[in-house]
Each structure stands twice: as structure tokens, then as C-alpha cells.
Chain A
């Protein structure tokens, strides 16, 4: 009798511990952070964490129209760095990103932004042709052209993706194939290797989690 009571008690305890642990999944914040003293609505001072954000930007899109961060403000978006004549990881990245794009096509809160790092060749009309041939049309997926400085700085300092020119590389450029997930407040919430199917699958699961944060 005594034994049974102990068993029961232990299992009850275990169940309560496990159920207490269960909470909504939240995505992490990437990049630098610092604490800042802010005043809330009631004027009470408190310390809050300030996370790294993507700064304002302005580039030409695939339709040669000046496009700024206003296009993505208030949206969750996936950013990546590529170039159209790339024969290594980019085709795989974009093949995988296409499946994410198709999944979230109907969701107005999700966008896609691809920056070219080939500032010599990938002018907007080249990007346009590339987008069309990939099977993308419309403003939901932006293909952006900018100067070397602006794009490379944005990549390395803000999106934390390494890019560079390399004459020894087959296609002349090297870069990491990360798909970077940005939230509605321009903070980095995820980075997924676009060449790996399992990480892209994770991205597909994480986008709804991120969107849910804003539904309260």
C-alpha cells in the first residue's frame, strides 16, 4: 500500500513538473545587445534589453525602382545574399527558398529579400530576368541591387553574413548561404543554411512562431 502511494506521488510530481515546463516556443535574438533605461507608458523607469536591428536601407529593386526599408517595415522577412551567375550554393538556396515562398505566398505579413553581391554584373534588369526565370513575380520577393560598399557592409555588420570578392573562387565571389529571418521590429531572429533541407524545413516552422508573437 505504502509503495503504491509513493509511486503515485512521484508520477504526479513528474507530470506537474513536465507540464510546468511546457510553454510557448519563442525564437532567440541574434547579434549584439545592450541594456538601456527606458520609461514605460506610466513614466516609470525600467531597464530593458535593446537588440541589434537592421538599419534603414535604400536599393534598386528588380524593376529599377528605389526601394527602402519601408517595404519590409512591419513585416517578417527572410533575407539572403547571392548573385545570378553563381553556380555553387545559390541555385540550391533559391530552390529551397522557393518552397518557403510558395508556402507563405498568401500571407501578406511575410516577405523575401535577396541582395546581389555581384555589383558589376547583376544590374536590376539582370535581376528581373533571374526572378522571372526562377518563377517569382511581384513585390513579395525583392531582388535588390546596390553598391559594393552598401551591400557588403549591410551583409557583414547587420545581417551577420560573410560575403566577399574572391578571384580564386570559380565564380569570382564567395559568400555564406544563410537565410536570415528578421522580425517586424527589424531584429534578427534566425539564420538557416539555405543549402540544407532540414534547416529550411525549420525556417518554415519558425516563421509561424514568429508571426504568433505579434498576434497578442
Chain B
């Protein structure tokens, strides 16, 4: 009987340790998500909406996972430098200019990008700040 209790306690504590020990990436993701949300609210929400629904044909929605995936390496450039070309999102063409946000540091761009690509029904996982910096260097 005693043996059972000791074994049970051992397994429970083992499971507890594993669960509480989230890996660094999960913590980073949560960090980026919460900071990214704040940036989204102040810089993006006016046009793209609280739920990324966009605004008529003036501002595209941010819910097109296929578009976000296909343009993954360009998203950081869009956010920081704005957009001056027409984009097809959810099968509709959007031609309005998107303003640039030069005041955003690379880390801010990374955070808001991770927030967008993991909200509104998107689930594209974590992108580290270093990757975003590389993307930004390669902007056209």
C-alpha cells in the first residue's frame, strides 16, 4: 500500500515538473503576443479593425492565412515601410496605399507580426526577432 502511494506521488511530481517547464519558445511567443497586441491596437487597429476584419476595400483583412504564409518574408517590410502596390487578399484586390511606420524598431515589427500571424484565426507560430531583422534588410 505504502509503495503505491510513494509511486503515485513520484509520478505526479514528475508530470508537474514537465508541465511547468515550458520551453523558451513558448514563453517568447506569449511575450511577443502580448506586446504585439498593444502595438496592434495603437498602430494597426484603426484601419484593419479590432478583429483584423479590414475596412471595406480601403484596408484588407488580416485573416487570409494563405496570403500571410505566401508573403511570410515580406510581412515585416509591409509593416515597417508601408505598401505602395496592389495586393490580392481573400481574392479581392486592394489598391490603397498603406502608410509606413518607421518609428517601429525591429523588435516591435517582430512582435506585431507574430501577433497578427497568430490571431484572427491565423496560427503560424513563432518568428524570432533575428529573422525579422534579416527580412527587413532584404526589403525591396
Contact = CB atoms under 8 A, between A and B. Distances in A.
Interface in A6-62: none
Given A87-B46, A87-B47, A89-B46, A95 B99 contact: no
Interface string B32-65: 0000000000000111010000011111000000
A87 B99 contact: yes
Contacts of B47: 87, 91
B25 interface: no
A134 B58 contact: yes
Interface residues of B, number: 12
Interface in A51-95: 85, 87-92, 94-95
A216 interface: no
Contacts of B58: 91, 130, 133-134
A138 interface: no
User: Which residue, B47, B57, B58, B97, has most C-beta atoms of chain A within 10 A?
Assistant: B58
B95 to A, nearest CB: 9
B74 to A, nearest CB: 20
A210 B20 CA distance: 59
Complex A-B, nearest 10 residue pairs according to Cβ-Cβ distance, in ascending order? A133-B57, A134-B56, A135-B56, A91-B47, A91-B46, A133-B58, A92-B46, A87-B99, A133-B56, A91-B55
30 contacts: A85-B97, A87-B46, A87-B47, A87-B99, A88-B46, A89-B46, A90-B46, A91-B46, A91-B47, A91-B55, A91-B58, A91-B59, A92-B45, A92-B46, A94-B55, A95-B49, A95-B55, A98-B56, A130-B58, A132-B57, A133-B56, A133-B57, A133-B58, A133-B96, A134-B55, A134-B56, A134-B57, A134-B58, A135-B57, A170-B99
